[in-house]
Amino acid sequence: MSVKKNIAIIGAGPASSTLAVRLCEAGYHVAIFATFESVPILVGESLVPMIIPMLQTLGVEQEVAAYSIYKPGACFTYNADEIFQFRFSNTPTDLPSYSYNVPRDKFNATLLNAAERAGAILIKRKVKLSANSVGKIILDDDSIKAATHCWNNQAPNLIIDAAGRANIIGRLLDIPMKKGTRQDVALFAHVDQTELVDPGYVHNDRIEQGWCWRIPLPNRVSLGFVIPESYASQYGDTAEQQYDALLRNDKVLQKIAPKTKRLTPVLRFNNYQSISDKLSGENWVMLGDSGGFVDPIFSSGMLIAMDSAFKLAETIINDTPLSEYESVIKQHLEAWFEIASYYYDGRLMTSIKVGETLPNNIFNRWLFNWIEARISRIFSGAAASQPFSFGLLRILVRHGLKNRNPDVYKIK
Ligand SMILES: Cc1cc2nc3c(=O)[nH]c(=O)nc-3n(C[C@H](O)[C@H](O)[C@H](O)COP(=O)(O)OP(=O)(O)OC[C@H]3O[C@@H](n4cnc5c(N)ncnc54)[C@H](O)[C@@H]3O)c2cc1C
C-alpha cells in the first residue's frame, strides 16, 4: 500500500480496538477518540468460542485467560429442571472447544493496549461531528488538531462510529433503526454467588416472564434479567427496586439464587434489538453496536462486534466498497435476530426435544450427530450467517416439530 490513509475511530470498545490493531498493522494512521464516562458496572460478557481465534490473531489470548473464567459450554433451563447443556468439546474438531467469561473492564483495557502497541493514538476527548449537504461527515477542527501528530495536520479520510449504542452518526444523520419485535429491558448487576450447573457455563434460565443470565466471573456472578418493560414496572420505580423485588419473588430465581446478595448498583438497558437502516456513507461507517444490536441470549454481541472489525479492516485494506461490508454485516445481524426469535417462540427447544425422542437406532443416531455438528456451528459463532447451517436450522424449527406445540418452551 503506497498511500497511507488517516482513520478516525470514535469509541474505544472491543470493536474499535480490534479494527485499530488490524489497520495499524497494515500501515494506516489511526486515531481513537474516546470518552471514558464512568459506568458503575459492565456486564461481564460471556464469549462464544469463535472469538478465540480472533484473540489469538490479536496476540492477547493468554492475557485474557489470566483474568477470566474458562467457559466450557452453556446451559439453558426451562421448567425448573429441564436443562439443556451444550458443551463446546462436543462440537466439530475444527472449532475451538472453549471460550471465556471476561470481566469487561479488563477485557476492554487488554484490547485497547493492543491497539496502542500496534501504533494507534488514543485521544481522550469527545469529538464534535457535523454533516455537510451530501451527508459527508466532518470532524471538528480541535479534534483534527489533537490528532495532528497522527495525521500530519490533515483531516481523516474515513470516520468510523464505534461508539456503541450511542450511535452518534446514525443520530446525526437521522438514520432510522429497525426494531425487533420484543420490547424488553435488561436489568443487571453483579452478585456474590448463585447456584451453578457448571462453574464456567453461561447459564440462561427461563423465568416467570422473560429470561435471566448467570455469567460466572472471578469472585462474583453477573446476574441479569431480560423482561418485558411492562412487567419490570410492576416491581417498582427504580432499577434497584425492580431487580431486588424480582430476585425475591420470581419462583425460578428463588431456586437458583436463594441466598444471593447484590454487590453493585443495578444497570438498566432498553432498546434491545435494533439494526440501523444504513451502515455506511461516503466517508463514514458504523462498526459494532453502533450499527446494530442483537439480544445477547446466545452471547453473540462481542462476536458480531469483533468479527465486524476484522471484516471492516479487510474492506478498507483491499479498498472494497463499504456497501459490501454493509450487506455482510446486516446479513449477520439479521441471522442472529432470527435465531433469537426461535429461542423466544419456543421452536428451538422444541426441535431439540423432538431430536432427543427419535427412536434410538443407528440411522437416527447418525442423523442426530450430523445435525448437531452443523447446528453447533451456529452457536459457536462459526456459521450464523452461512447458508447451509442456517438453512438447516430454519428447516428444523419450521418443519421438524412433529406437531408439538412450541408454546411449551415459549419465553413470555
Ligand atoms: C445487557 C447486555 C448483556 C450483554 N451480554 C453479552 C454477552 O454475554 N456476551 C457478548 O458477547 N455480548 C454481550 N453483550 C453485547 C456486548 O456488550 C456488545 O455487543 C459489545 O460491547 C459491543 O462492542 P462495541 O465495541 O461495538 O461497543 P461498546 O463496547 O459499547 O464500546 C463503545 C465505546 O464508545 C464509547 N463512547 C460512547 N460515546 C462516545 C463518544 N461520543 N465519543 C467517544 N467515545 C464514546 C463508550 O464509552 C464505549 O467505551 C451484552 C450487552 C448488553 C447490553
% of residues, the chain, pLDDT over 90: 72
Scanning the structure block, which residue is given the C-alpha cell 436450522?
Answer: 393
Q: Tell me which residue has its CA closest to atom 30 in ligand 1.
A: 164
Segment 215-238, tens digit of pLDDT: 999 999 999 999 999 999 999 999
Please report the pLDDT score of residue 152 as a whole number.
86
When the pLDDT of each residue in the chain is averaged and rounded to a whole number, the result is: 92
135 or 250, higher pLDDT: 250
Write the DSSP symbol of residue 28: -
Residue 231: count other Cβ atoms within 10 Å of its Cβ: 18
Cβ atoms 192, 260 nearer than 8 A: yes
Predicted local confidence at residue 385, as pLDDT? 66
Q: Give pLDDT tens digits for 40-51.
A: 667 788 999 999
User: In the prediction, which pLDDT does 319 show?
Assistant: 94
Instruction: Among 279, 289, 307, say which to mutate for ligand 1: greatest number of ligand atoms within 8 Å of CB.
Output: 289
Q: How many Å apart are CA 203 and CA 207, to the nearest integer?
A: 12
**Nearest CA, atom 26, ligand 1:** 288
* Reported confidence tier of residue 259, pLDDT bands at 50, 70, 90: very high
Residue 14 has pLDDT above 70, yes or no: yes
Q: Which of 227, 270, 271 is nearest to 250 (CA)?
A: 227
* Higher pLDDT among residues 366 and 139, named by residue: 139
Is the distance from the beta carbon of residue 296 to the nearest atom of ligand 1 less than 6 Å?
yes
Cell 480496538 sits on residue = 17
pLDDT-based confidence at 381, cuts 50/70/90? Answer: confident
Q: Which atom of ligand 1 is nearest to the CA of 226?
A: 1
Counting atoms of ligand 1 from 1, which one is nearest the CA of 101?
8
pLDDT band at 361 (very low <50, low <70, confident <90, very high): confident
Atom of ligand 1 nearest to the CA of 51: 11
Residue 111 in contact with residue 58, Cβ under 8 Å? yes
Among the listed residues 6, 33, 63, 13, the one whose alpha carbon sits nearest the alpha carbon of residue 304? 13
Q: How far is the CA of 254 from the centre of ligand 1 (A)?
A: 30
Test site for ligand 1: of 32, 38, 43, 294, most ligand atoms within 8 A of the Cβ: 43
13 CB within 6 A, ligand 1: yes
Give the model confidence (pLDDT) of 28-80 as tens digits.
999 999 987 766 667 788 999 999 999 999 999 999 999 999 999 999 998 77
pLDDT at 362 over 90: no
CA distance 116 to 173: 30
- Give the pLDDT of residue 10: 97
289 lines ligand 1 (CB under 6 A): yes
Average of pLDDT values for 88-101? 88
Q: Is the CB of 295 under 6 A from ligand 1?
A: no
3-state secondary structure of 397: helix
Cα-Cα-Cα-Cα torsion 167, 331, 338, 94, nearest 10 degrees, comes to: -110
Q: For position 34, what pLDDT does the model report?
A: 94
Torsion angle, alpha carbons of 318, 320, 326, 329, to 10 = -40
9 close to 188: Cβ distance less than 8 angstroms: no
pLDDT of residue 199: 97
* CA-to-CA separations, 322 to 19, 274, 301, 318, 401, in angstroms, rounded: 15, 20, 21, 11, 40
Is it the case that residue 2 has pLDDT exceeding 60?
no
Which residues partner with 223 through β-bridges?
189, 214
User: Would you state the cell numbers that stand for residue 292, as one nine-digit string?
Assistant: 446494530
Query: Strand 6-10 and strand 158-161: pairing?
Result: parallel
Ordered structural domains, the chain, with CATH: 6-39+104-176+273-336 (3.50.50.60), 69-97+182-270 (3.30.9.100), 346-409 (no CATH)
| Whole-angstrom Cα Rg for the chain | 22
Average pLDDT estimate for 383-390: 75
- 112 CB under 6 A from ligand 1? no
pLDDT tier for residue 357 given thresholds of 50, 70 and 90: confident
Q: What is the pLDDT of residue 400?
A: 87
pLDDT higher than 60, residue 266:
yes
Is the Cβ atom of 47 under 6 angstroms away from ligand 1? Answer: yes
% of the chain exceeding 70 in pLDDT? 97
Q: Where are the beta strands (DSSP E) in 47-192?
A: 69-71, 73-78, 82-87, 99-101, 121-123, 129-131, 137-139, 158-161, 177-179, 184-191
Distance of alpha carbon 361 from alpha carbon 242, whole angstroms: 50
Give how far Cα 23 sits from Cα of 5, 219, 235, 258, 288, Å. 10, 36, 48, 48, 16
* Pairing between β-strand 202-206 and β-strand 73-78 as defined by DSSP bridges: parallel
- Helix (H), strand (E) at residue 323: helix 322-344
State how far the Cα of 211 lies from the Cα of 204, in Å rounded to an integer. Answer: 7
- Region 325-343 average pLDDT: 92
Residues with Cβ within 8 Å of 402's Cβ and at least 6 positions away in sequence, in order, are 354
pTM given for the model = 0.95
Q: What is the pLDDT at residue 41?
A: 63
* pLDDT of 278 strictly over 90: yes
How many CB atoms sit inside 10 A of residue 237's CB?
8
Given pLDDT bands bounded at 50, 70 and 90, which one contains residue 1?
very low
395 alpha carbon – ligand 1 mean position (Å):
33
Q: Rounded to the nearest whole angstrom, what is the distance from the C-alpha of residue 94 to the centroid of ligand 1?
A: 29
**What distance in Å separates the CA atoms of residue 169 and residue 49, rounded to the nearest whole number?**
31
